[in-house]
Structure 1
């Protein structure tokens, strides 16, 4: 009887665990977004590249490069409501930001509320 009870318990556990599934996130913001700029100061050219990596569990990584050397990085959380994305950084050095995704343009653009370009899909 103990063997039958153990076998039924194992079958029930397997059946219950197979019924649960992780919802798939197909949000169009997923991927790598970039904003790059070059400045010229006192005969020194500086290239600054900002990179946002959005993943499917509503988390991401922000990285800032200066002349191809990483000089700052932090994690962030993101959420979407009615096509508006809210990016909340874990580091207080950077202010949280709200952006919109413009999918009709090539390349795709994340724009700020004032219409300025925040980042471009890489």
Structure 2
């Protein structure tokens, strides 16, 4: 009887667990940008930028100089009406507002003013 009760409790626990919602947003993945001029207020000197977007609306930003990581921070992201909002808690970086565009060559994120933010890596 005790084994039956344990089995019943186990099955009840398993069946009551909520299902984790799957996030398959096309922004998930690695995005890169080759920097021509520094665009942030601190004039961070980097030559490449990389954003890694994950499925729980978080990510990691890396700034590279000569192939070495010289800056990294976490970020959060949301999407509202096709506009992605990337925020960098704990920094003085302003939020990035970008839209996804597909070209014949690549999928890119474009800032609201029209400048390329990053290109998706395969």
Q: What CA distance in whole angstroms lies between the structure 1 residues aligned with 2:109 and 2:7?
A: 54
Q: When the two structures are superposed, what TM-score results if normalisation uses the length of structure 2?
A: 0.81
> How many correspondences in the alignment?
114
- Conserved 8 A contact 1:77-1:88: yes
- Conserved 8 A contact 2:46-2:70: no
Q: Report the equivalent of 1:66.
A: 65
1:2/1:72 Cα in 2 relative to 1: closer, same or farther (>3 Å)? same
Counting only pairs closer than 5 Å after superposition, residues 29-48 of structure 1 correspond to structure 2 as 29-37=27-35, 48=47
SS at match of 1:57: coil
CA-CA distance at 1:104 after TM superposition:
4.2
Uncovered stretches (5+) of structure 1, i.e. residues with no partner? 40-45
Higher strand share: 1
Counting only pairs closer than 5 Å after superposition, residues 1-122 of structure 1 correspond to structure 2 as 4-17=4-17, 20-37=18-35, 48-122=47-121
Q: Report the equivalent of 1:42.
A: none
CA-CA distance at 1:7 after TM superposition:
3.7
SS at match of 1:106: coil
For the aligned residue pairs, the C-alpha RMSD in angstroms reads 2.1
Q: When the two structures are superposed, what TM-score results if normalisation uses the length of structure 1?
A: 0.81
Q: What CA distance in whole angstroms lies between the structure 1 residues aligned with 2:117 and 2:99?
A: 9
CA-CA distance at 1:2 after TM superposition:
5.1
CA-CA distance at 1:98 after TM superposition:
0.5
Deviation digits for residues 66-107 of structure 1 (CA, Å, limit 9, x no counterpart):
001110000000000111000010232422111011124421
